[in-house]
Amino acid sequence: MIEQFFWPESVKQALELKRQFQDEAVYFGGGSKLNATPTKTTKKFGIALSKLGLDKVSLQQGKLHIGSQATLQRLIDTPLIPDALRNALGFIYSRHLRNQATLAGEIVAKQKERVLLPVLLVLDALVVTAAGETLSLEEYLDNDRDDLLLEVILPDPYQNCSTRKIARSAAGLAVITAAVATGSNGEMKIALDGVSERAIRLRDVESRGLSDDELEKAVSDAISPRADIGGSEAYKRYIAGVVVAELLADCQQMSEEK
């Protein structure tokens, strides 16, 4: 439970507070995760990020720069946001939560479902840390890092991309979330959440250039989901394959319509 709150007015001040209190401190964005079970924090010191000006969205030399503290609802309402990402933002069903939750919070939170990650992964998202590093979102997740994030960069934001969340109801927990993108040179990218401990890219499947039934089977064979309240292992394998094949068809149709 947070016992003391700090409101730094610069990134430097925020980093100094984290160095001072170390593991007893936590960066605090919108609070939608840190104030709620099962991700409620046990840290004593909260370092608020709301005064750091990290909520801007801009298009710079064809790359989309998204401030880490932009709320999900603000992003939905921002015309620069690509359609697939906007759709994924809507997977968080509650507008109240979208008004509170931040993009960085959805990336770093250790939660059961991370419905934004698949679309960010296939859009080759980069994250910029307060330490001055720029690294791929995939690398950031692989290393289980908890750096203060400054922004997310989409190098090619408007490539053909489609995403889908499979759930029992609109407000229910996701069974799986999938995203597919086809870049400017036609390469396919696939990402899934809900079939592993974290959101993953299926690079081995991507490189094979499959579609339709062959793609369905390859996706099903490539994953090892666990049975839970959302569905059996067999169901998750099946639905993941079907959805990925459908998303690729969506991307191909987008290409034809351009």
Residue numbers of the domain that contains 31: 1-50
**C-beta of residue 136 within 8 angstroms of C-beta of residue 46:** no
Residue 34's pLDDT is 66
CB-CB contact of 216 with 149 (8 Å): no
Q: Residues 131, 133, 139, CA angle at the centre, nearest 5°?
A: 125
Question: Do the domain assignments include residue 155?
Answer: no
In-domain check, residue 146 = no
Last-in-domain residue among 50, 71, 88:
50
Q: Which of 50, 70, 89 is the last residue of a domain?
A: 50
Distance, CA of 29 to CA of 200 (rounded, Å): 25
The total number of structural domains in the chain stands at 2
Per-residue pLDDT at 246: 98
Total-model pTM: 0.94
CA distance 90 to 98: 8
Q: Is residue 90 part of a domain?
A: no
- Please give the Cα distance from 138 to 104 (Å, whole number): 14
Instruction: Report the distance separating Cα 138 and Cα 124, nearest Å.
Output: 8
Here the CATH number for the domain that contains residue 38 is 3.30.43
Does any domain span residue 83?
no
What does the pLDDT profile of the chain (258 residues) look like in tens digits?
Answer: 778 989 999 999 999 999 999 989 989 888 776 666 666 777 889 999 999 999 999 999 999 999 999 999 999 999 999 999 999 999 998 899 999 999 999 999 877 789 999 999 999 999 999 999 999 999 999 887 778 999 999 999 999 999 999 998 777 788 999 999 998 777 999 999 999 989 999 999 999 999 999 999 999 999 999 999 888 999 999 999 999 999 999 999 998 887
Exposure of 184 by Cβ count < 10 A (0-12 exposed, 13-18 middle, 19+ buried)? exposed
Q: For residues 55 and 90, is the Cβ–Cβ distance under 8 A?
A: no
Q: Distance of alpha carbon 129 from its chain centroid, rounded?
A: 16
Which of 35, 50, 65 finishes a domain? 50
* Residue 106 maps to a domain: no
138 occurs within a structural domain: no
- Cα angle: 192, vertex 170, 216; to 5 degrees: 30
Q: Which residues contact 231 (CB under 8 A, 6 or more apart)?
A: 175, 239
Within-domain flag for 41: yes
Q: Domain with 196 in it: what CATH number?
A: 3.30.390.50
98 occurs within a structural domain: no
